Amino acid sequence: MKWILLLLGLSLGFSSLQAQEDDLLSLLGEEEETTEYVSASFKTNRVVNLHSLESTAAGVLDIKISHRFGTLNGGAYELFGLDNATIRIGGDYGITDRLTIGLGRSSFQKTYDGFAKYKFLWQSTGKRRMPISAALFASTAIQTLKWQNQDRENYFSSRLYYTFQLMLGRKFSEGLTLQLSPTLVHRNLVETSAESNDVLALGVAGRIKLSKRVTLNAEYIYVLPDQLAPGFRNSFSLGFDIETGGHVFQLHFTNSTSMIEKGFIAETNEDWLDGGIHFGFNISRVFTVVRPKIEQ
């Protein structure tokens, strides 16, 4: 009887061990597929002037210092534009990995601006496949120059400008990203009757990876006809992004002086063919303000 009980116990133990092993192998064989989100479509959340598909990570503050020098056709007397400079200082903060807000102040027309950008589609592979990334962008700008005519009735609302933009893009490979940015700029007050208060434009941008830390960026903004006064031109910019640890340096050439949407989309008046080219740079430095919680 003892031998029978011993054999029965050993048999039950072996069966239990085998069942556990089978369950473990089954789990390993049926591992749930994960979603992998595409990252680094651009090195920072700007192409040159345009916002890119990238968002600032949750809890991260991105301090940006941007310069645009004078135009190259200023010649040696103006040191090819280096004697003059326009600057914007701002900060972008990631509320979540999809939602970014930002504030800035430009010396050009003494303008303050604020924006919000939300990425509602995120290119991904795996369990959830999404072929493109898409984001909505909205900004408000306030121009604070002194009124040219102090004697007439001037309204605060005349200082306000609004921009609404949809960004659509895809990272085709590690070396190539393309983006489209349909845009509406509304200006409460324009200088002449030849200008439209509402300006519709289409931005086209791209990035080509040259090395692990260097990319070539380009953007062109086409403004639909009959919306700008004679003399205004479409914005075109070309430059390089250089990543060095926590910094991203963007060195570029552009025919736009302003660094906010209502300026470089609706108020660009320099011509590349005439030497109306600004050398400029953006410096981006990120700081982690709130560290993400690590799940145990």
Same domain, 51 and 17: no
Same domain, 6 and 86: no
Which tens digit of pLDDT belongs to each residue from 116-146?
999 999 999 888 889 999 999 999 999 999 8
Distance CA 163, CA 185 (A): 4
| pLDDT confidence of residue 30 | 55
Residues 6 or more apart whose CB falls under 8 angstroms from that of 216 comprise 207, 208, 210, 238, 239, 240
Same domain, 223 and 258: yes
Same domain, 97 and 14: no
One-letter amino acid for residue 98 of the chain: R
Task: Classify burial at 11, counting beta carbons within 10 Å of its beta carbon; exposed 0-12, middle 13-18, buried 19 or more.
Answer: exposed
| pLDDT confidence of residue 154 | 81
Low-confidence ranges of the chain (pLDDT < 50): 1-8, 10-19, 21, 24-25, 295-296
| pLDDT confidence of residue 13 | 46
Which tens digit of pLDDT belongs to each residue from 75-108?
899 898 888 889 999 999 999 999 999 999 999 9
Task: Classify burial at 249, counting beta carbons within 10 Å of its beta carbon; exposed 0-12, middle 13-18, buried 19 or more.
Answer: middle
One-letter amino acid for residue 232 of the chain: F
Domain around 75: 43-288
Same domain, 16 and 126: no
Does residue 73 lie in a domain region?
yes
Residue position matching structure tokens 């009124």: 147
Is residue 262 within 8 Å of 141, Cβ to Cβ?
A: yes
Does residue 239 lie in a domain region?
yes
Residue position matching structure tokens 């990252």: 39
Residue position matching structure tokens 């989100």: 37
Same domain, 117 and 263: yes
Same domain, 17 and 74: no
Distance CA 89, CA 68 (A): 12
Longest dimension (CA), the chain: 115
Q: Token pair of 73, please?
A: 């056709």
Does residue 294 lie in a domain region?
no
One-letter amino acid for residue 205 of the chain: A
| pLDDT confidence of residue 186 | 93
Does residue 147 lie in a domain region?
yes
Does residue 37 lie in a domain region?
no
Give the three-state DSSP class for 62. strand
| pLDDT confidence of residue 8 | 38
Does residue 296 lie in a domain region?
no
One-letter amino acid for residue 125 of the chain: T
Candidates 82, 46, 69, 101; CA nearest to 260 is: 46
Give the three-state DSSP class for 7. helix
Distance CA 279, CA 239 (A): 9
Same domain, 53 and 88: yes
Distance CA 193, CA 278 (A): 29
| pLDDT confidence of residue 15 | 42
Same domain, 264 and 165: yes
| pLDDT confidence of residue 291 | 79
Same domain, 123 and 219: yes
Does residue 293 lie in a domain region?
no
Residues in the chain: 296
Q: Token pair of 59, please?
A: 């809890």
Question: What letter does residue 189 receive in the DSSP assignment?
Answer: -
Is residue 281 within 8 Å of 252, Cβ to Cβ?
A: yes
Backbone angles phi, psi at 98, to 5 degrees: -105, -20
Overall domain count for the chain: 2
| pLDDT confidence of residue 119 | 95
Does residue 280 lie in a domain region?
yes
CATH of the domain at 227: 2.40.160.40
Same domain, 8 and 152: no
Distance CA 81, CA 68 (A): 9
Same domain, 14 and 144: no
| pLDDT confidence of residue 56 | 93
